[in-house]
Amino acid sequence: MTDIKLPDAMAELRPALGEIVGLGLQRAPYFSALLSSRHGLTILVDDREERVTERPPAVGTVLSAFDGATNFERAMGGFNREEIQKASRDFLSGLTFQKYLVQAEPERRGDFVTPMQIDPLELSTQEKLDRCRELHRRAKGNDSRIVNVRVIYGERNEHSVFADANADLAQRVQRVNMFLVVIVAGADGDVRYDFASKSGSAGWEVLNWSDEEIQRLVDSALGLLSAERIEPGEYRIITTPGVSGTICHESFGHGVETDMFLKERARAAHFIDKVVGSSLVNIVDDPSQPGSYGSYFFDDEGHMAASTQIVENGVFRRGITDRYSAAALEIPRSANGRQQDYSRKTYARMSNTFFSAGTSTLEEMIAQVEHGIYLDKWSSGMEDPQGWGIQVTCHYGHEIKGGKITERVFAPIGITGYVPDVLQSITSVSNELQMDGGNCGKGHKEVVPVASGGPHLLMTARLG
């Protein structure tokens, strides 16, 4: 068994979960216990200051009693055995259960740890701070237009233990990310900036920056001082993997979370096994993808991580589920039941969601565009599962003219459109796959770590 090194209080409570679950099952058709510890660290180094702060910890226990109709939960801070046993008895004594249609999951047992070469928990804070300082030193150039360079390191240390009648699972998921931000000011006082990030479910080995990457970022930040606003209209566009991933995330990511089917909020519910995009479009959600920022081994409802093919050759196949919506809709589960932390409910949420790679090269794709826009970098997106509208904001993009990317830069650029129209317009998909880590809210709350990505895509969209 993997040496998982759970936090002491969690490790001490784990052996008692069998008894707590057993008592719960005497009353409830289904009963589970989740121990969840999420904490982390943020380091900021810039030209003027340094900060080392704990990520606000969320440490607690969730007891769930489910009868196929309503999910009753008691969530409490910490892992105190006596308090949890008492809370469990009090909680169960006040409940009345209605239906008894809870589908049992197969037996699941095991301990899992994110594979990594340089474990952040094995590095001292001094070593991490020094690495951030070193990157800051390398990125801080001599150009007088640079007013600040900021390095932001984040680590999320997640430990969880899950138990139900057929499960005894534990995992340690380690996520790291690092942002490099270059802030510049023009002669007129206008402030612009560009940023780049690296991330993964991994250790520090994924946070190395080459001199070329740093210089590219400085150059692009300075280039933004001459950025123009784009003339609104329909354009041929090529999206970088980050922008492709955001389109994927906002369209057939949020749009296929099956709790939204249940709430009649997802138009995709009417399109199962129907064409929703070009035959080049394949979309996958995969929490088991090694190294990606949104990965985990089992979800917050104890379902084992596995890949889900959402769109296959342009045809919508299935959504991603939490336990409640899968039971209510009578569809197979996928491992997408996730909580922001113990204090929040579980919803159907994405993990690593991406367009699969195609066969074209980027050079071939650019050569096909007589006049269009290369969308370099995304900054945000918002879903509209019922209306199938899309909003993706790009930090900037470059003009493509005569099959070549020019120096002319536009910022910011908004992409809007009707999801099937946008996906149907994809005519070329490049042969690489890159993932971007980030945080995802459901609407405006319930933030969880995810990744999205894909290859370069050539398509038509409305920009503004």
What is the footprint of other proteins within residues 222-281 (CB under 8 A)? 229, 232-233, 262-265, 267
- For the CB of residue 65, give the shortest distance to other proteins in the complex, in Å: 10
Nearer to other proteins, 303 or 395 (CB): 395
Nearer to other proteins, 108 or 133 (CB): 133
How many angstroms separate the CA atoms of 144 and 125, rounded? Answer: 32
For residues 114-148, b (16+ Cβ closer than 10 Å) or e, as one string? Answer: bebeebbeebeeeebbebbeebbebbbbeeebbee
- For the CB of residue 13, give the shortest distance to other proteins in the complex, in Å: 13
Distance in Å from the first CA to the final CA of the chain: 54
How many angstroms separate the CA atoms of 293 and 425, rounded? Answer: 29
Q: How many residues in the shown chain lie near other proteins by CB under 8 A?
A: 76
- Asked whether the beta carbons of 175 and 352 are under 8 A apart, the reply is no
Can you list the positions of beta strands (E) in 208-344?
233-239, 283-285, 308-312, 315-316, 337-338
- For the CB of residue 460, give the shortest distance to other proteins in the complex, in Å: 13
Question: How many CB atoms are closer than 10 A to CB 416?
Answer: 16
Among 309, 380, 427, 434, binds other proteins (CB under 8 A): 380
Over the window 183 to 202, marking each residue x when it contacts other proteins by CB under 8 A and - when it does not, the resulting string is: x-x---xxxxx---------
Question: Count of alpha carbons within 13 Å of 367, Cβ hemisphere only?
Answer: 6
- For the CB of residue 35, give the shortest distance to other proteins in the complex, in Å: 13
How many angstroms separate the CA atoms of 198 and 437, rounded? Answer: 8
- For the CB of residue 15, give the shortest distance to other proteins in the complex, in Å: 19
**393-432 binders of other proteins (CB under 8 A):** 393, 411-414, 416
Nearer to other proteins, 152 or 429 (CB): 152
Among 379, 427, 434, 460, binds other proteins (CB under 8 A): 379
Task: State the SS3 of 263-282.
Answer: CCCCHHHHCCCCECCCCCCC
What are the CA-CA distances from residue 168 to residues 88, 160, 164, 400 (Å)? 19, 11, 7, 55
Closest CA to 10 of 56, 57, 73, 64: 57
Q: Output the CA angle 420-237-211, nearest 5 degrees.
A: 125
Contact call for residue 324 and other proteins (CB under 8 A): yes
**98-137 binders of other proteins (CB under 8 A):** 125-126, 129
Nearer to other proteins, 132 or 457 (CB): 132
Nearer to other proteins, 174 or 325 (CB): 325
Over the window 49 to 88, marking each residue x when it contacts other proteins by CB under 8 A and - when it does not, the resulting string is: xxxxxx-xxxxx--------xxxxxxxxxx-x--------
Nearer to other proteins, 172 or 267 (CB): 267
Nearer to other proteins, 262 or 280 (CB): 262
Q: Which of the ranges 111-119, 147-155, 370-378, 429-437 carries the binding residues for other proteins, by CB under 8 A?
A: 147-155
How many angstroms separate the CA atoms of 126 and 123, rounded? Answer: 8
- For the CB of residue 374, give the shortest distance to other proteins in the complex, in Å: 17
